[in-house]
Amino acid sequence: MTDPDAAARAALLDTHSDLLVAVADCADEVAAAWDGPATDRRQVVDPLTALFRQRGILAQLPEVLATAVDAAGYDLRADPVPAPPYVVVTSTGPVLRATVADGRLVVRVECFELVPDEAGGKPRYVRRDGAPEDALSVTFVQSR
C-alpha cells in the first residue's frame, strides 16, 4: 500500500510548486515588514492572510487540499472552501485539513517558527530558512 503522506506530498510538489513559491514570497514580505522582533501571532497571521487574499492564494488553497486528498487515495466528504475547518492561516503558515474515511489529512506550509528569546524575554517569530518545498509537510492521522 502506498504511503498517503508521501503520495500527497509528491503530488503537491508536482502540481502546486508555483503556489508554494508564492506562499514563500508572501512570508518573506511579511517578515521584511517587521520593525523589530515579531512577538505577537497577529504580526504573522493578519498580514499573511491579507497578502494571500490580495494575491488569490487563499482561494487556491482548497484545490491544493483536494489534490492532496486525491493523491493520498481518499475522497473528500464535501467541497473544501478557503475557510475553517478546511483552510486556516496560522502563525506558522497555512494549514489545510480534510476529514477522510478513516482519518484526517493535514497539509502544512510552515513558513515561520516561534523561537525562545535567548535573553529570557518573549518568544519571537522568525522566518524559516530553506526552499519553499522544505516548508511543506503532509500528515495522515488515522481515526481511532
For CA atoms 58, 43, 29, 106, give the dihedral sign. Answer: negative
User: Is 0.85 surpassed by the pTM of this model?
Assistant: yes
- Contact partners, residue 23, CB within 8 Å, separation at least 6: 52, 57, 93, 94, 109, 111, 132, 135
For CA atoms 123, 124, 130, 131, give the dihedral sign. Answer: positive
Tens digit of each residue's pLDDT, the chain (144 residues) = 468 899 999 999 999 999 999 999 999 999 999 998 899 999 999 999 999 999 999 999 999 999 999 999 999 988 999 999 999 999 999 999 999 988 999 999 999 999 998 887 889 999 999 999 999 999 998 887
Cα 126 to Cα 132: distance, rounded to the nearest angstrom: 15
Q: Domain range for residue 12?
A: 4-142
Count: domains in the chain: 1
